[in-house]
Structure 1
Amino acid sequence: MLSLGHKEMKAYQVALNLVKEVYTLTNGFPVDERFGIVSQLRRAAVSVCSNLAEGAARKSPADRRRFYEISRSSCVEIDTQFELAIQLGFIKLDQVTDLDEYLNHTFAIISRMIDNTR
């Protein structure tokens, strides 16, 4: 594996925990949702990490900022999908405590990164 700077970023490290938590929580979803909300949640979680990494590799601040904004938007997508999952009874609110912590932390760090990328 490459030894690249994005792996040292706090946002990337927290986002990795977010991905693991999303995968763990979605393991308990109904089997018939495997290609629906489960797939969408997992892709959004991976998108957070992937866009942080790709943004960190960009030379221009505008390019970095754009990828960080996509990453942050994926956090919003995860939040929305889990809200739907709770409403649909796939998961209970008290089961998303760790996810909520990782999601809020990741969103806040990425927001600061966006604000500081000029």
Structure 2
Amino acid sequence: MSFKFEKLVIWQKSMDFGESIYKLTLKFPKDEAFNLTSQIRRASDSIALNISEGSILKSKLEFRKFLGYSIRSLAEVVTCLYKAKNRKYISEEEFYKLYNESHSLMNQIIAFRNQVKE
């Protein structure tokens, strides 16, 4: 037995992305624990959480709304990545790797959302 969302590639990729962000934040300064570290972790986790929550709803319109929340959370992660790069917590290489991953994931979520019709 499995949940519908477990079969979704966007959910699987967002789960992996969240783990990548978590590992990245392990090297952030301790004084950022309740600021940037917490913010980027919550935003990256929210991507998969919203996909899973939306997928179990009966209404496709509501599912599209939750996919929109995932997209917004992903945009929040990108902004946090910029903050981390600007503050020299991550390298340019780390930034661009996750930035490109973010861009790809966002395009996949948008494409999937466009296929979900009422």
Give the ranges of 4+ consecutive aligned residues of structure 1 lying more than 4 Å apart after TM superposition: none
In the alignment, the residues of structure 1 paired with residue 24 and residue 106 of structure 2 have an alpha-carbon distance, to the nearest angstrom, of: 19
Q: Which residue does the alignment assign to 1:14? A: 13
Q: Which residue does the alignment assign to 2:39? A: 40
In the alignment, the residues of structure 1 paired with residue 11 and residue 26 of structure 2 have an alpha-carbon distance, to the nearest angstrom, of: 23
Give the match's secondary structure for 1:59.
coil
Q: Percent identity?
A: 26
**Structure 2 residues without counterparts, runs of 5 or longer:** none
Give the match's secondary structure for 2:89.
coil
**Structure 1 residues without counterparts, runs of 5 or longer:** none
Q: Which residue does the alignment assign to 2:95? A: 96
Displacement after TM superposition at 1:97 (Å): 4.4
Over 3 Å counting, the alpha-carbon distance change for 1:67 and 1:3 in structure 2 is: same
Are the counterparts in 1 of residues 47 and 74 from structure 2 also a CA contact under 8 Å? Answer: yes
Are the counterparts in 2 of residues 15 and 102 from structure 1 also a CA contact under 8 Å? Answer: no
Are the counterparts in 1 of residues 82 and 95 from structure 2 also a CA contact under 8 Å? Answer: no
TM-score under structure 1 length normalisation: 0.93
Aligned residue type for 2:39: Q
Task: Give the count of matched residue pairs.
Answer: 117
Answer with 60-69 or 95-104: which moved more.
95-104
| Aligned residues: CA RMSD | 1.3
Are the counterparts in 1 of residues 81 and 99 from structure 2 also a CA contact under 8 Å? Answer: no
Displacement after TM superposition at 1:44 (Å): 0.3
The Cα offsets for residues 20-61 of structure 1, whole Å up to 9 and x where unpaired, read as 110011001001001100000000011000000011111111
